[in-house]
Structure 1
Amino acid sequence: MSKVYYKSAEDIEQLRKSANVLSQLLGEIAREIRPGVTTLSLDKLAYDYIHDHGGRPAFLNYNGFPNSLCISVNDQVVHGIPSDYELRDGDIVSVDGGVELDKYISDSAYTFAVGNVSDDVKQLLDVTLESLNLGIAQAVAGKRVGDIAFAVQDHVEKYSYGIVRELVGHGVGYKLHEKPEVPNYGKRGTGSKLEEGLVICIEPMINMGKAQVKFWDDGWTVSTADSKPSAHYEHMVAIHKGSPDVLTTFAYVEEVLGKKN
């Protein structure tokens, strides 16, 4: 992950196509999220959907990862492996996916509430999503990675939540993980300069309790050290002058959830 790859305007349009397949997939996942559904069934839906739309699941076999989605429930932060676990009323579930379409890779995540969640958990989801949007607002040419990081941290710490430090956002496009790293904590005006053509994933991973995490023996799953819930949202953003160009969208998810409520 040593080189920073800058994308041409044509590259970014290809990435937008890949990102749109992924965004629509998250909308399809939103339709299926309910008590009694297994996380493995959501993974199968993703595998089929991505292939049906001419793509390949970017996560499948990435460094040996066995599935198409990372699905992380409740106190799992990220990289949960889909299983026969049946979702329950009150759970939250982070669904993180990637699509490779014509060699262009997209990456996005959304944390869903299953049935009725507590007010405390709902606030965690809301604040984490707000922090993502505040970070994105800083993702313009001339700013620095630290400006994104500070925007996320400044918002989240008002609620005394823990910000995961071992895991960060990243560049994306030709590979799933590229330079630069994009932490969710930091100082304004520090870090790599954001230049036109850079495409990054901003992904706050926010814990209701302490920031500390533990890594599971499966080699993938990361959970909170204190077993309290964690939320995770991720968008893919192309850096331009003036305003950020968000390539992924939660519009499909929000449309489905709006009809469910």
Structure 2
Amino acid sequence: MIELRTPAEIEQMRPAGRFVASVLEATAAAAGVGVNLLALDRLARDLIRSAGAESCYIDYHPSFGASPFGKVICTSVNDAVLHGLPHDYALRDGDVLSLDFAASVDGWVSDSAITIVVGTPRDEDLRLIDTTTHALDAGVAAAQPGARIGDISAAIAGVALADGYTINTDFGGHGVGRTMHGDPHVPNNGRPGRGLPLRPGLVIAIEPWFLETTDRVVTDPDGWTLRSADGSRGAHMEHTVAITESGPIVLTARMP
């Protein structure tokens, strides 16, 4: 069911957006060569506890997950791009790390993701991250009242295809509100002018993710982590966005 939020409710969602952004900033800053993924999960867990927030991940068990997630942040490294289950792995120089985090504050949820390079970057990784960032920006810019879901999807795809990347539509954006995942689905490829009209009060997560040389993913034995089918690296960016009369508001905007 698609729910529209009042202007007052969108204001009530802002603290969750600020908190999610702050946790991503903190964990990205802490992610250095030699830092263990489990340490990043502990940091996020401590920040949740200190803020009196609630994790959206730890008990999360959708149909595609092998078991409850059990951690509070997704840490996807190199060829892993989505749903990376934190495990005993120390980050290495040149690793590409995607961090995906959602939490509830006072009953309202926000969801966001960022991809960084740990240590020395490779040009091809920076190019992939740059394209994914620009695709997110394009998707947000297209999220105007009176437009349609397909306008967001087409804007994202236009950036990716122009840079030579292919697109997987199995996983994409989604509605956000009292729960982490709701209607509507926001695919990363589509036709402009098609799909659900974007009405003021709609709150969605827009989340482009691309792989360097494929659009196929496989699931790790952990039952969660999604990796590229050919071992190429991935990038993932996401913001929670509210559609308003005056345009989109990025609730999870990070400090510049």
Whether TM exceeds 0.5 here: the answer is: yes
Correspondence 1:172-191 to 2 at 5 A: 172-191=176-195
Displacement of 1:112: 1.2
For 1:165, what is the secondary structure of its paired residue? coil
Distance in 2 between the 1:125 and 1:55 partners? 29
The alignment's TM-score, normalised by the length of structure 2, stands at 0.95
Match of 1:53 among 51, 54, 57: 51
1:101 aligns with 2:105: yes
Change in 2 beyond 3 A, CA 1:242/1:10: closer
**1:94-123 Cα distance to aligned partner (Å, 9 max, x none):** 100011111111100000110111101100
**1:68-88 Cα distance to aligned partner (Å, 9 max, x none):** 001100111100110110111
Counterpart in the other structure of 1:225: 229
Runs (4+) of structure 1 exceeding 3 A deviation are none
For 2:139, what is the secondary structure of its paired residue? helix
Match of 1:123 among 108, 124, 127: 127
For 1:62, what is the secondary structure of its paired residue? coil
For 1:163, what is the secondary structure of its paired residue? coil
Distance in 1 between the 2:246 and 2:17 partners? 22
Distance in 2 between the 1:138 and 1:242 partners? 13
Amino acid at match of 1:152: I
**RMSD, aligned CA:** 1.0
| Greater alpha carbon shift after TM alignment, 21-30 vs 73-82 | 21-30
Correspondence 1:66-215 to 2 at 5 A: 66-215=70-219
Displacement of 1:177: 0.4
Which runs of no fewer than 5 residues in structure 2 stay unpaired?
Answer: 62-67
Amino acid at match of 1:205: W
Displacement of 1:241: 2.5
Asked if 1 retains the 8 angstrom alpha-carbon contact of 2:28 and 2:99, the reply is no
For 1:239, what is the secondary structure of its paired residue? strand
1:216 aligns with 2:236: no
Counterpart in the other structure of 2:5: 7
Distance in 2 between the 1:162 and 1:88 partners? 27
Distance in 2 between the 1:10 and 1:99 partners? 20
Amino acid at match of 1:4: I
Displacement of 1:35: 0.5
Displacement of 1:216: 2.4
Amino acid at match of 1:93: L
Q: Percent identity?
A: 40
1:29 aligns with 2:60: no
Asked if 1 retains the 8 angstrom alpha-carbon contact of 2:148 and 2:193, the reply is yes
Decide which structure has greater helix share: 1
Displacement of 1:30: 2.2
Which runs of no fewer than 5 residues in structure 1 stay unpaired?
Answer: 255-261
